[in-house]
Amino acid sequence: MEELEYDLPELNITTGSAITVDDMMEVQDEGLYGLMIIGFLFFSQFGVLAWKKYHPKSFQSVTLVGLWIVPPVVGLFMKNYIYFSTWILFLIANFLIYRKSQEKPLKPETPRTLYRWFAIIHKLTYTVGAIGYGVFLVGMFIEGQTKILEIGLILAFYGLYFGILNKDTVDELSARMALNVGYIKKQGIPTKNLTGNVCSICGGRVDNEEGSCKLDCGHIYHDHCIRGWIIIGKKATCPYCKEKVETSSLTENPWNKADIMYSNFLDFFRYLLVWQPLIIIVIEIFTRMTGTKQEMPDSSNTVNTNI
């Protein structure tokens, strides 16, 4: 036995050690799972992008539902009750706005109320997000102040999440509200003909005293209606004839330009807030369902290398 140990020193086999079949299989499984996760992440990105490109309506609807459900569920699971309580209050307020926007007949002042509410939330989320970003930058230059970084990230998340949720919700509600008026249809002929100085978004008469906006296509709208439709709801077409709208005339004020830039910025983070967590959750569930359980070594599957 002593001679065998001298002839094979490179094996580095110590007395009492054992190599199990389970250990070798576990190493192979980990490599296989790693490749599967990378492949799933790669193809899921293309799947989401293809869905958005070829079926934008269904993608937007499912994304809106995901925005309302996925982050709150994750927050509740992580016991973030402050965030969940804020979400509940936001949900109640939006439900009341939704009920008001679905009234028949629609009151002429309803679109103004709806867009004013969402404009306030839009600016509030913009401010909170900017403050959070500023706090985060300050925290990066202060050594050892992780609490400041945490506060900055939380504020930035609140601004981004509720900003995206607000934007997508008003986009959906403005379309539904315009359909209820009767001057606008997704397909086919509208149930009402647009005549005179009538705003097709709210159905009310357009007076110069209230403020009006005439598009290049010739249709006229209340100033607050068309600004909410294009800037907040981000619909770059005429509500009635679907002709593309030149937004330069609507961005003369600096706050309008900032709103459009912020809306484009929110679009970039929509994927990170909805689809990325879902993909990670699916991968986690798949790993837990297919992962091998750790078991105690069995004598029948053990190759004893005691020398």
Looking at residue 200, what DSSP letter applies? Answer: T
- Cβ distance 164 to 60 under 8 Å? no
Looking at residue 303, what DSSP letter applies? Answer: E
Mean pLDDT of 57-62: 81
Query: Does residue 288 or residue 140 have the better pLDDT?
Result: 140
- Cβ distance 169 to 64 under 8 Å? yes
Q: What is the pTM of this model?
A: 0.68
| pLDDT score for 44 | 78
- Residues with Cβ < 8 Å from 97, sequence gap 6 or more? 113, 114, 117, 118, 173
**pLDDT confidence bin for 90, thresholds 50/70/90:** very high
**What token pair was written down for 91?**
């949900």
Alpha-carbon gap, residue 157 to 168, rounded angstroms = 16
pLDDT tens-digit series, residues 148-176: 888 998 998 898 889 888 888 887 887 77
- Cβ distance 240 to 194 under 8 Å? yes
Distance of CA 189 to the CA centre of its chain: 34
Residues facing residue 20 across a β-bridge: 302
